[in-house]
C-alpha cells in the first residue's frame, strides 16, 4: 500500500507542511514531549531493517539515558529478518522498511492467534542516487524500470544500457550505467521491486550491497553509477534525481512536502512491529520505547537522521491503536 493511501486511511491532510526539504523537516508542534515514568527495566531486542539501523540506534541511546537499567541489542541485517525474530520471540521490536507480507503475518498469527501490530515511526522518500557530477536532470519511472529491470513491466519500450540511452551527452554518453542496489533480504529491495519495477525482475548485473550506506558510498566513487536508497543516507558526494510517476512528465523532487502529499512516486512509511495481544496492554519495556519514538524527542531524532517526521495525527493514531497516551503516563 502506498503512502498516499495510508495517509488517507489515517485521515491525515498533508496541507500546511512548512518545510520543503526532507533533511530540514521540522517536528509537528502538536506532537507532545515524552515524559519519563518509573519502573522500566529489562532487556530490549530489535531485529530487522538496515534502513532503520541508525534510527533504532539513536532511539536506543535516548531510551537508555531515560532508563539506565534497560539493556538494548540491535541487529540490522534487513527487513526480512524481523518477522521470524518477532514470531520466534527472539526480539521485542521488528523495524521494517515495508509492511509484512501475508505469509509473514500468517506465520505469526498461526503461533499467537493474532497479527503483529505495525507502528509507523517515520516517513521515507526512497531516492534514486547518482554521482554529484552526473549531468542527468530527471527520470521517469518507466526509465527507472528500464535501468534496473530485465522485464520492463512499467512500459518502457527499450532497454537502458548506457547513459546516452537516457539522453546524456558528452564523455558519459557511451559509458555503461553501473547499477547498485540491495539484496533480497532488504525491505528496500522489495519495495523498489514492487513500486519502481512494477513487480518485475532485477537485472543480473545489479551490484547488491549489504546496506543502504554501501549503496550510496559505491555511487559516490562511480561517475557512471546509479542506485536506490532511503533519503536519510544522502551525502555531499551524491545527488538525488527528481522522478515522474508512470505516464507523467511532471518531475517531482524528494522533498518532505512531496513525500507527505503523495506526489513523490517512492514515498513510504517506516515501521516498527510489536507483539501486542488484543485487549492486553503492551509491556512497559516496549510501550515506553514506542512512546519515546512517537514523541517530540523521538521525532527530532528522525529529523536528525535525515528522514521525515510523522504528522501529529499519524503519531496520535498509532498510540491510540496501542492503547497508549501521548507523551508520558
pLDDT digits (tens, 9 = 90+) for 215-260: 999 999 999 999 999 999 999 999 999 999 999 999 999 999 999 9
CATH number of the domain residue 15 falls in: 3.40.190.10
Same domain, 197 and 232: yes
Q: Do 14 and 34 belong to one domain?
A: yes
d(CA 171, CA 175): 8
User: Sign of torsion, CA 134 21 273 286?
Assistant: positive
In a shared domain, residues 13 and 99: yes
- Domain-located, residue 31: yes
Give the Cα separation of 56 and 92 in Å (integer): 13
Using the 3D structure, point to which of 252, 267, 282 is the last residue of a domain.
267
Same domain, 135 and 261: yes
41 with 70, same domain?
yes
Query: Would you say residue 327 lies in a domain?
Result: no
Shared domain for 314 and 300, answered yes or no, is yes
Based on the domain organization, do 179 and 228 belong to the same domain? yes
pLDDT at residue 15 tops 90: no
d(CA 160, CA 152): 10
Let me know whether 63 and 107 are in one domain: yes
Q: pLDDT band at residue 327, thresholds of 50, 70 and 90?
A: low
Q: Are residues 42 and 120 in the same domain?
A: yes
**pTM of the shown model:** 0.87
Task: Look over the chain and give the mean of its residue pLDDT values, rounded to a whole number.
Answer: 92
With respect to residue 329, please indicate whether it lies within any of the assigned structural domains.
no
Q: What's the grid cell of residue 140?
A: 521517469
- What are the pLDDT digits (tens) for 76-88? 999 999 999 999 9
Indicate the residue among 267, 287, 304 that finishes a domain.
Answer: 267
Q: Does 229 lie in the same domain as 119?
A: no
| 58, 122 Cβ separation under 8 angstroms | no
**Are 179 and 247 in the same domain?**
yes
SS (H, E, C) 218-249: HHHCCCCEEEEEEHHHCCCCEEECCEECCCCC
Strand (E) or helix (H) holding 271: strand 267-274
Give the range of the structural domain holding residue 293, as residue numbers without chain letter: 3-124+269-321
The overall longest dimension of the chain from CA atoms, in Å, is 65
Same domain, 84 and 131: no
How many residues appear in the chain?
329
Mean pLDDT over 139-156 rounds to: 98
Number of domains in the chain: 2
Distances in Å between the alpha carbon of 98 and those of 13, 101, 294, 295? 22, 9, 18, 22
Q: Say if 326 falls within a structural domain.
A: no
CB atoms within 10 A of CB 281: 11
Amino acid at each position: 500500500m502506498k503512502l498516499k493511501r495510508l495517509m488517507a486511511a489515517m485521515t491525515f491532510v498533508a496541507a500546511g507542511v512548512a518545510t520543503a526539504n526532507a533533511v530540514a523537516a521540522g517536528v509537528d508542534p502538536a506532537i507532545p514531549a515524552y515524559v519519563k515514568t518509573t519502573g522500566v527495566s529489562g532487556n530490549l531486542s530489535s531485529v530487522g531493517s538496515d534502513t532503520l539501523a541508525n534510527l533504532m540506534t539513536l532511539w536506543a541511546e535516548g531510551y537508555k539515558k531515560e532508563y539506565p537499567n534497560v539493556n538494548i541489542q540491535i541487529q540490522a541485517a534487513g527487513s526480512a529478518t524481523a518477522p521470524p525474530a518477532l514470531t520466534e520471540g527472539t526480539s521485542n521490536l521488528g523495524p521494517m522498511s515495508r509492511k509484512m507480507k501475508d505469509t509473514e503475518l500468517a506465520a505469526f498469527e498461526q503461533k499467537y492467534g493474532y497479527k503483529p501490530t505495525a507502528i509507523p515511526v517515520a516517513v521515507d522518500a526512497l531516492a534514486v542516487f547518482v554521482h554529484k557530477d552526473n549531468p542527468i536532470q530527471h527520470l521517469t519511472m518507466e526509465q527507472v524500470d528500464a535501468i534496473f529491470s530485465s522485464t520492463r513491466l512499467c512500459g518502457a519500450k527499450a532497454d537502458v544500457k548506457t547513459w546516452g540511452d537516457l539522453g546524456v551527452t558528452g564523455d558519459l554518453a557511451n559509458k555503461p550505467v553501473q547499477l547498485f542496489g540491495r539484496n533480497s533480504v532488504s525491505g528496500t529491495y522489495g519495495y523498489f521491486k514492487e513500486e519502481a519495477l512494477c513487480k518485475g525482475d532485477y537485472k543480473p548485473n545489479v551490484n547488491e550491497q549489504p546496506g543502504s550506506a554501501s549503496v550510496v558510498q559505491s555511487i559516490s566513487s562511480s561517475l557512471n553509477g546509479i542506485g536506490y536508497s532511503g533519503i536519510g543516507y544522502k551525502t555531499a558526494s551524491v545527488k538525488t534525481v527528481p522522478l515522474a510517476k508512470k505516464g507523467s512528465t511532471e518531475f517531482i523532487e524528494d522533498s518532505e512536502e512531496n513525500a507527505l502529499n503523495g506526489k513523490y512516486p517512492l514515498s513510504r512509511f517506516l515501521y516498527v512491529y510489536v507483539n501486542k495481544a488484543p485487549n492486553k496492554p503492551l509491556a512497559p519495556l516496549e510501550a515506553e520505547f514506542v512512546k519515546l519514538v512517537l514523541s517530540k524527542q523521538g521525532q527530532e531524532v528522525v529529523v536528525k537522521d535525515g528522514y521525515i517526521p510523522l504528522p501529529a495525527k499519524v503519531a496520535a493514531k498509532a498510540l491510540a491503536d496501542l492503547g497508549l497516551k501521548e507523551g508520558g503516563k
